[in-house]
């Protein structure tokens, strides 16, 4: 049976992470649940479809298989394509050949590498300033406890793969337009493990690994930028046999803070002051990211003035002297004036020799203000 594109069914992107997939599934499952739509066969159909899609995308093995082949059906029991874990960190093709046929891996090594997994983490600006310890929940493939990672029911050693005679790899010659290319590729029968399992473990079905959810503690240093990625070695999926442990990649996202614009280590904030404050000067305290910030308004400050507050910005990566905050000054012009205020402003204007609007002129500026008063 052909499977509908599970990404399409759940309405998620190809690179969607486990949380996005889970929440899309929950939303759709709730909407199409037969209990909510009694007597509607199309809802039941849709509900089943959503469940099938989720069963593929929530299982790193099935997901990787679907990504690779566009189906999860009729696959040989091919444990090699273990786990996608979410994200596009690994091109499976590269991983396949990069790890098995060179790429630094020792030749003749039997086993398969654990997948790298990705997790997305949101940070506040305050966390960027001080750094933060985060507990991250990850879904990964871990050694099966039931068979102790052998894949054989009840433990015990698997047999040697007859195709590769336990080598885990087979050599093949391909004819390409460049001539004959001899390549060594993972054994298609055993997926590179060099073993054959006649009595597969009921828990892992011979894959030697099972899906687990684990909490990984990550110390995020100060000063990180949105989009930065931290590699946490060995916290990805377990490798099998002599395969290496996968890594966890933590992708950092700094939350927007409406109070500030960030330019590297510099924070830009906006400050509205009154005409009196601008003219006479003032000492103000404004909100910084982690503490209040003293701002000194000089007498005669003009609209658009930028006041630099040293050390109120963000630290460089891994900490150190903090950058500055630039306070962009705006001068408020009052929009509603009392009669007394108008009188004073007129007096002020006369004193300073500015042109003064005529008080009697109802069509002028004052007309707008007093037009309705009798
Ligand atoms: Zn097992
Ligand atoms: Zn083999």
8 A C-beta contact, residue 329 and residue 304: yes
Cβ atoms of 202 and 153 within 8 Å: the answer is yes
* CA distances in angstroms from 33 to 6, 44, 68, 86, listed in the order given: 18, 7, 31, 26
Element holding 349 (H helix, E strand): helix 339-351
Tell me, yes or no, whether 34 and 107 share the same domain: no
Distance 186 CA to ligand 2 centre (A): 8
Count of all residues that appear for the chain in the document: 374
- Taking the centre of ligand 1 as the mean of its atom positions, its distance from the CA of residue 210, in whole angstroms, is 7
Is 64 a known ligand-binding residue?
Answer: no
Q: How far is the CA of 160 from the centre of ligand 2 (A)?
A: 8
Asked if 208 and 122 sit in the same domain, the reply is yes
In a domain, 362, yes or no: yes
Asked if the structure places residue 34 within a domain, the reply is yes
Cα–ligand 2 centroid distance for 152 (angstroms): 16
- Within-domain flag for 238: yes
* Per-residue confidence (pLDDT) for residue 85, from 0 to 100: 36
- Same domain, yes or no: 228 and 160: yes
For residues 99 and 156, state if they share a domain. Answer: yes
Residue 343 lies in a domain: yes
CA 82-87-89 angle, 5° bins: 80
Minimum-distance ligand to the CA of 200?
1
Q: Would you say residue 33 lies in a domain? A: yes
Judge if 21 and 84 occupy the same domain: no
According to the model, what pLDDT value does residue 95 have? 34
Q: Which ligand is nearest to the CA of 211?
A: 1
Same domain membership, residue 318 and residue 350: no
Q: Which residues contact 6 (CB under 8 A, 6 or more apart)?
A: 52, 53, 54, 56, 57, 66
Q: What is the CATH number of the domain that holds 2?
A: 1.10.287.110
Do 123 and 256 touch, CB atoms closer than 8 A? no
Is residue 224 within 8 Å of residue 123, measured between CB atoms?
yes
- Specify whether 184 is located in the same domain as 302: no
User: End-to-end CA distance of the chain, in Å?
Assistant: 83
Q: Are residues 152 and 232 in the same domain?
A: yes
The range of the structural domain enclosing residue 343 comes to 339-370
Q: How much distance in Å is there from the Cα of 263 to the middle of ligand 2? A: 54
Q: Indicate whether 67 belongs to any domain.
A: no
**Are 214 and 83 in a shared domain?**
yes
In a domain, 41, yes or no: yes
pLDDT per residue as tens, the chain (374 positions): 455 789 989 988 888 888 888 888 888 888 887 777 777 888 888 888 888 888 888 887 788 778 877 776 544 333 333 333 333 333 333 333 333 333 333 445 567 889 999 999 999 999 999 999 999 999 999 999 999 888 899 878 888 999 988 888 888 787 877 788 777 888 888 888 788 888 999 999 988 899 999 999 999 999 999 999 999 999 999 988 778 899 999 999 999 999 999 999 999 999 999 999 999 999 999 999 999 999 999 999 999 999 999 999 999 998 899 999 999 999 999 888 999 999 999 999 999 888 877 655 444 454 445 544 43
Ligand lying closest to the C-alpha of residue 111:
2
Same domain, 176 and 37: no
Distance 191 CA to ligand 2 centre (A): 6
Same-domain check for residues 93 and 235: yes
Are 319 and 200 part of one and the same domain? no
Cα distances (angstroms) measured from residue 260 to each of 85, 128, 257: 35, 13, 6
Into how many domains does the chain fold? 4
Whose atoms come closest to the Cα of 207: which ligand?
1
Report the CATH number that the domain containing residue 138 is assigned in CATH.
2.60.260.20
Domain assignment present for 68: no
């Amino acid at each position: 049976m052909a499977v509908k594109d599970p990404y399409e069914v759940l309405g998620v992107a190809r690179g969607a992470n486990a949380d996005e997939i889970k929440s899309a599934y929950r939303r759709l499952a709730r909407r199409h649940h037969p209990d909510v739509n009694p007597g509607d066969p199309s809802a039941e159909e849709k509900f089943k479809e959503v469940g099938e899609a989720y069963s593929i995308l929530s299982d790193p093995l099935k997901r990787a298989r679907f990504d690779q082949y566009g189906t999860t059906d009729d696959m040989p029991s091919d444990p090699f394509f273990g786990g996608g874990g979410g994200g596009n960190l690994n091109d499976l093709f590269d991983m396949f050949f990069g790890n098995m046929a060179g790429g630094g891996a020792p030749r003749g090594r039997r086993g398969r590498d654990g997948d790298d997994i990705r997790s997305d983490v949101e940070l506040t600006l305050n966390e960027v300033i001080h750094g933060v310890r985060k507990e991250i929940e990850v879904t990964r493939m871990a050694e099966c406890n039931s068979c102790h990672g052998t894949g054989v029911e009840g433990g015990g050693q698997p047999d040697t793969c007859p195709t590769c005679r336990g080598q885990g790899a087979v050599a093949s010659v391909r004819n390409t337009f460049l001539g004959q290319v001899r390549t060594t590729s993972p054994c298609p029968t055993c997926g590179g493990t060099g073993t054959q399992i006649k009595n597969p473990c009921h828990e892992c079905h011979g894959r030697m690994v099972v899906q687990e959810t684990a909490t990984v503690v990550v110390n995020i240093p100060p000063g990180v930028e949105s989009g930065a990625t931290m590699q946490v070695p060995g916290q990805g999926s377990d490798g099998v046999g002599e395969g290496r442990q996968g890594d966890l990649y933590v992708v950092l996202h700094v939350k927007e803070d409406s109070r500030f614009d960030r330019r590297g280590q510099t924070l830009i904030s906006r400050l509205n002051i009154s005409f009196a404050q601008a003219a006479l000067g003032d000492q103000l305290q404004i909100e910084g990211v982690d503490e209040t910030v003293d701002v000194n308004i000089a007498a005669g400050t003009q609209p658009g003035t930028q006041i630099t507050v040293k050390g109120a910005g963000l630290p460089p990566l891994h900490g150190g002297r903090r950058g500055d905050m630039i306070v962009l000054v705006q001068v408020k012009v009052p929009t509603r004036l009392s009669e007394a205020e108008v009188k004073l402003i007129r007096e002020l204007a006369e004193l300073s020799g500015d042109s003064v609007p005529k008080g009697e002129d109802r069509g002028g500026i004052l007309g707008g203000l007093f037009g309705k008063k009798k």
